Structure 1
């Protein structure tokens, strides 16, 4: 009897050892001798471990989750870590709980977000030295040697990697210079007869286009609609400008009253462009601004199923609006 128990216990120990070796003590998969592991703000151990399992890098994610619950009493810390060949999964789990282990800082600047959101992200990043992000806007722009009165639209959206301890001033200067390079090159190659007095007006339009569609193939179509409206003296009447002008009053919906309430940005009540960009436009949106399509469309409305319907006259536009309403009602 005791012999049977001993054999059973030994078998259990062997199984446990195998499971641990296939999970906690398994070499973390590395391409080459070392590679970077990027952890974003808000990323969790649960999500990280589930992704390892989904990618077939571990077999029993529950083991990793139990280890984390018992032995790691902290959250994952954002940063870019260096994983070397031979490091175990356990060592990686331990490493990413301490920001001091990070080699670089990863900054994700999402196209269509605002300068305010970018500055707030820099304020919250513990791996970045703060020297300008807490300054008033006018002083911040002066410190960065930026010759504009408003920061919106001036920084290039993308994913950037910076050395740990980099200054916010260096980062913002870099992002500004990248955006200006993109803008200058696009302006030099622009199509003829655009309705923009200068490249800053084109940047304003690029930010509106960025907010109006997330479908790349539509960028030049949206650009064409707004360019033709400007040439005709027709108001842009674009909701993203209304939302931007509302500021903190915007709570997820805009009403008919919001559309009628004048602000410096409400393109339902003002002629032409708003005074500044309303977001950080991508390179694709800037280039689309400089090369609008050559159709006759002056209207567009969402389809309700992704994308937009573009039309050249009010009757067709009204039919497209009714189709959109019908689609949305059917979804309810």
Structure 2
């Protein structure tokens, strides 16, 4: 009788040992076996309120996970079962269950991108935002003043205020959140560059510098000429000369500009016509790059007061009006250009 008991006890112990070894083997196999994901990856949307069990079931239904219960047990063992984040996830090939679990606990959701290009007007910025299929549109047909109020910047004009960059964001980000982020980034760059500006500049505020930087952005096709062009404009402002820059005239014409700037356009007085009005225009005319901002706040020295496009992206800079007229004769006349700067 005692022998039978001892045999049964030994058999039970052996069975438990085998079970433990099998469980450890299965656990190791589960942890090191990647999810069944194709080379293109798997897009998984975890809705708000989802549980680890529902996520595991979804993966099982998509044939990406053989044993959904194992994922649930793993999450509970790690104490993260209640910590998963909703969102859209991009599961790459070779992702193991523990790696996937870390991904959804950390909220590493799939990121989309939208690029705001230097030199764009606010109208172009808004068109890009509205055409993004990954941003959630909430602004609709609101007025500019209402839009800026929703961004948290009432009474601010939007032109030139959004930093040109490539922004990454998860699906469902609102247009307001996206624009606020770009606005804040421009504000940060502008504040820093204004704080470190060169001495003796003819701008009374950071906003005036932003306005001139937008003009420099539109005039300079070559980054290496931005500081040279900024120097010309800074000296003109210091001497009380009009800026006489075509991009401001074009901006003032708005939708009426057909790609051909005429002499009558230069004579048409608008708030942005720097041929008919002195000083800076009332607002920026586009979003300037960081390079244009830096060039405007650290303009190149020298005596040049004029420049004219050569036709290859570069400019010829002149100190006197006589030299400038000769350069216009050389580079502009007969090319459909009404004038040089």
TM-score normalised over the length of structure 2: 0.66
| 8 Å contact kept, 2:119–2:286 | yes
| 8 Å contact kept, 1:224–1:293 | yes
Deviations 1:70-114 (A, max 9, x none): xxxxxxxxxx9958348xxxxxxxxxxxxxxx9332111000001
1:84 match: 92
Q: CA RMSD in A?
A: 2.5
5 Å matches for 1:44-59? none
1:229 is the counterpart of 2:236? yes
| 8 Å contact kept, 1:123–1:134 | no
Gap regions ≥5 residues in structure 1: 1-25, 35-79, 87-101
Greater shift after overlay, 318-327 or 258-267? 318-327
1:242 match: 249
| 8 Å contact kept, 2:116–2:165 | yes
TM-score normalised over the length of structure 1: 0.68
Deviations 1:154-187 (A, max 9, x none): 0000111111110111111100000000000000
1:219 match: 226
Match of 1:191 among 194, 198, 202: 198
User: 1:145 offset after TM fit, Å?
Assistant: 1.3
| 8 Å contact kept, 1:119–1:133 | no
1:108 is the counterpart of 2:115? yes
1:256 is the counterpart of 2:263? yes
2:145 match: 138
User: 1:229 offset after TM fit, Å?
Assistant: 0.4
1:311 match: 318
1:182 is the counterpart of 2:192? no
| 8 Å contact kept, 1:105–1:128 | no
Matched position secondary structure for 1:306: coil
Kindly tell me the number of residue pairs found equivalent between the two proteins: 241
User: 1:323 offset after TM fit, Å?
Assistant: 1.8
2:294 match: 287
User: Whose radius of gyration is greater, 1 or 2?
Assistant: 2
1:154 match: 161
CA distance in 2 between partners of 1:175 and 1:133 (Å): 19
| 8 Å contact kept, 1:304–1:327 | no
Gap regions ≥5 residues in structure 2: 1-37, 43-87, 95-108, 337-341
| 8 Å contact kept, 2:309–2:332 | no
CA distance in 2 between partners of 1:216 and 1:120 (Å): 26
CA distance in 2 between partners of 1:264 and 1:140 (Å): 23
Deviations 1:106-147 (A, max 9, x none): 111000001111112111222111122531100001111114
User: 1:326 offset after TM fit, Å?
Assistant: 6.9
CA distance in 2 between partners of 1:133 and 1:233 (Å): 43
| 8 Å contact kept, 2:145–2:155 | no
| 8 Å contact kept, 1:191–1:291 | yes
Structure 1 stretches of 4+ moved >3 Å: 80-86, 325-329
- Flag the 1:269–1:108 CA change in 2: closer, same or farther, 3 A: same
Greater shift after overlay, 186-195 or 313-322? 313-322
| 8 Å contact kept, 2:135–2:172 | yes
Matched position secondary structure for 2:308: strand
Matched position secondary structure for 2:160: coil
